Amino acid sequence: MNGDVSEVNGYNLEKLVGQFQIVAEFVDGYAWTKGHINDTYIINCRQGGSPIRYILQRINHHVFQQPAVVMQNVKEATQHLRKKIASESSADLTRRTMTLVPTRGGASYYMDSAGNYWRAYVFIERVKSSHVAEKPEQAEQVGRAFGLFQKRLADLPTERIQETIPQFHNGVLRIDALEKAVREDKQNRVEATQPEIEFCQTNRGIVQIFADAQAKGELPQRITHNDTKIDNVLLDQDTDEVMCIVDLDTVMPGLIHYDFGDMVRTLTSPADEDERDLDKVTIRMDFFDALAKGYLSEANDFLSEAEKGYLAQAGKVITFQLGVRFLTDHLNGDTYFRVHREGQNLDRARVQFKLVERMLENEEAMKATIAVLG
């Protein structure tokens, strides 16, 4: 930092903080290594002799190509959540939802002279998060947290939230992209991946399940999170109570099934995403049962019977789509997902496809669980 506590990674954090409605005195700041998309800095300040912290983030406008739209969505969602939570309880409001700090001009973000987009949040104190679910109770907790998140946003009109990543869950387009990659075979990898390509061809009907249901008017658009991993659930560091859902950049209109399905994918299998021993890729049904119990304890209040009827298929749909994306990227030369070794994206695809097989084997049991809880 060259002796200047305000200069980090070439950015003058003190000047940037000064663009926001932060009346506290700047002390110093440092880069936070958690997260892989946006650049995050922890800002230490003092106000009335007491320490107070903020989060300053530079939005990655290469990933989120419409930062202004992202920030409008974040503003709408956080304001709505704050009103809902305040009506339920006045306790710990700043720890139960993200608090966006406006700029001095009242905007939700600041754009610097270089075209970088910046935003600020109040730092949520005395919380922790997990990276993996080691017991069913954690799966239940995560399910309940995201069920409550969706429930609180259920009466926010979907037209108030805009799509920030077009066609994010369009499985038909994912299959089209795979077929294009197979035809072009840029890296001469098609011959060695015939079993995986054939698996996609055999199971391509999976991507039509929700599209067909929507076409029949069975599944409505709702406000969804779209990144429902366990890391995004903050818990009180002393009581383990769920405090807040974070990482709202992908909040947009969609099907609740993609949120639920991604929880099934990430919480029920003990295997690493790039596990080479496919015998380790299993579905822990006790974790699924716990997840569904937690989720429906909140979501039963607003979901239709038709929506609940499709929940048991949600895991295989989003898992298959992700597997298709991994395989496509492998064939194209690993240009999207970061890899640390050759063949990693192919291993990732194989894990997803094995997981789809395990989900198909357990689908009737999943349906039975949903029927009892719903």
For the chain, 374 residues long, the average pLDDT of each consecutive 10-residue run is: 67 97 97 84 96 97 92 98 90 90 98 97 96 95 98 96 92 97 98 98 98 97 96 95 95 97 97 96 98 98 98 98 98 93 97 98 98 96
Nearest residue to 167 (alpha-carbon basis) of 216, 211, 209, 197 = 211
For residue 347, the model assigns a pLDDT of: 98
Contacts of 141 (CB under 8 A, 6+ apart): 233, 235, 240, 242, 294
Asked if CATH classification 3.90.1200.10 holds for the domain at 136-373, the reply, yes or no, is: yes
Q: Can you give the pLDDT at residue 2?
A: 43
> CB of 275 within 8 A of CB of 281?
yes
pTM for the structure as a whole? 0.94
Note the pLDDT of residue 9.
86
Task: Please state which CATH number belongs to domain 7-125.
Answer: 3.30.200.20
C-alpha to C-alpha distance for 243 and 232, rounded to whole angstroms: 11
Q: How far apart are CA 310 and CA 302, in angstroms?
A: 15
Domains of the chain by residue range? 7-125, 136-373
- Distance, in Å, from the CA atom of 37 to the CA atom of 31, rounded to the nearest integer, reads 13
Distances (CA, A) of 170 to 14, 167, 177, 209, 351: 42, 5, 11, 11, 21
- Stretch (H or E) spanning 205: none
| E strand or H helix at 119 | strand 117-122
131: DSSP letter: S
Say if residues 314 and 264 touch (Cβ distance below 8 Å). yes
